[in-house]
């Protein structure tokens, strides 16, 4: 009888089961999140079929792993390019789903289905808005200049140990600058910002998270988000690149030159009609849209 009881106990406790999160997972828009799901006892599930779905959607599939690959043809379009599994982790029985750039529409109940043993578990994702500090403030900057995008914690507190993210939601990847565990994560940075962004590291301990952007380009125009995940706080800054700032100054200078020329010719007409009129010879090179640099010489 004791042998039979041991056999039943071992058999019962060796049955696979899915382990996830009993508590809802909370995240804010724009962040990434892992929805946990792994099988115990541990086994290699790379060759198995795994389904992640949201029953309230049509089509309901958020991610479908079948025949050792991601099957995108059945995936709901709103998750295209934003969900993934790790093949290395599948070998350890970890079927957790990574969801990137979370949207408000992503909130809901997600189901992880392991078809080999007909096991499933669910996890609720709550997407909330972080607290915004400061106010959106447009900054007008001339092309080629440097600019500081302001972002400060109030009341001031040491931000060195926090993960800090500067992003532009309209870009992919959206990261302009990421600070984590005391270092800059350049591998996550959008290529157009490489070598052009920096935090004031000495100021982080005072809560100053402002970002310096050098050699501003036309493509830098847009809305920037300063975000501290641990505090669920964010701030926005709008950057406007004034490509014609220098050209406007040049334009007014040319208008002044024209007025001088007209005035001198008017004086000559009033003084003596036999005197030749002043003429202006200009050589122009266009440097801005609709405006040119001109070198002019006055003569008789």
| Alpha-carbon span 124 to 19, nearest angstrom | 14
pLDDT at 9: 42
How many Cα atoms are found within 13 Å in the side-chain-facing hemisphere of 213? 25
Model pTM score: 0.56
Confidence category of residue 6, pLDDT binned at 50, 70, 90: very low
Q: Mind listing the domains of the chain with CATH numbers?
A: 17-127 (2.60.40.10), 139-242 (2.60.40.10)
From the number of C-beta atoms within 10 Å of its C-beta (0-12, 13-18, 19+), residue 98 rates as middle
pLDDT at 285: 58
The residue-averaged pLDDT of 228-235 equals 84
pLDDT at 122: 95
From the number of C-beta atoms within 10 Å of its C-beta (0-12, 13-18, 19+), residue 150 rates as middle
Q: Which of 70, 241, 33, 264 is nearest to 149 (CA)?
A: 241
DSSP string of 5-44?
HHHHHHHHHTS-EEE--SSPEEE-TT--EEE--EEES---
The residue-averaged pLDDT of 161-184 equals 91
pLDDT at 4: 43
Confidence category of residue 252, pLDDT binned at 50, 70, 90: very low
* DSSP summary character for residue 216: -
Buried b (16+ CB within 10 A) or exposed e, 252-288: eebeeeeeebeeebeebeeeeeeeeebeeeeeeeeeb
Number of other residues whose CB lies within 10 A of the CB of residue 82:
17
> What does the pLDDT look like over 85-134, one tens digit per residue?
999 999 999 999 999 989 889 999 999 999 888 899 999 999 887 766 66
> What does the pLDDT look like over 42-75, one tens digit per residue?
999 999 999 999 999 999 999 999 988 888 888 9
Cα R_g (the chain), whole angstroms: 31
């Amino acid at each position: 009888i004791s042998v039979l009881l041991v056999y039943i106990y071992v058999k019962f406790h060796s049955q696979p089961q899915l382990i996830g999160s009993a508590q809802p997972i909370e995240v804010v828009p724009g962040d990434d999140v892992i929805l946990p799901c792994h099988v115990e006892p541990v086994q290699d599930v790379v060759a198995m079929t795994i389904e992640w779905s949201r029953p309230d959607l049509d089509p309901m599939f958020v991610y479908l792993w079948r025949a050792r690959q991601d099957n995108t043809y059945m995936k709901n379009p709103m998750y295209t390019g934003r969900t993934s599994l790790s093949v290395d982790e599948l070998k350890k029985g970890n079927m957790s789903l990574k969801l990137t750039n979370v949207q408000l529409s992503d909130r809901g109940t997600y189901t992880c289905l392991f078809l080999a043993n007909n096991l499933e578990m669910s996890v609720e994702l709550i997407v909330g808005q972080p607290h915004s500090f400061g106010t959106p403030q447009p900054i007008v900057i001339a092309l080629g200049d440097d600019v500081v995008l302001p972002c400060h914690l109030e009341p001031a507190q040491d931000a060195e140990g926090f993960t800090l993210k500067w992003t532009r939601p309209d870009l992919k990847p959206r990261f302009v600058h990421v600070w984590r565990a005391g270092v800059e994560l350049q591998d996550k940075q959008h290529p157009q910002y490489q070598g052009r962004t920096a935090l004031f590291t000495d100021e982080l301990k005072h809560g100053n998270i402002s970002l310096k952007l050098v050699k501003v380009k036309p493509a830098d125009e847009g809305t920037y988000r300063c975000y501290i995940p641990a505090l669920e706080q964010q701030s926005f800054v709008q950057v406007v690149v004034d490509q014609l700032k220098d050209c406007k100054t040049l334009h007014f200078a040319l208008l002044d030159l024209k007025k001088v020329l007209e005035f001198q010719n008017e004086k000559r007409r009033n003084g003596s009609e036999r005197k030749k009129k002043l003429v202006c010879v200009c050589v122009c090179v266009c440097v801005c849209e609709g405006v040119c640099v001109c070198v002019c010489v006055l003569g008789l």
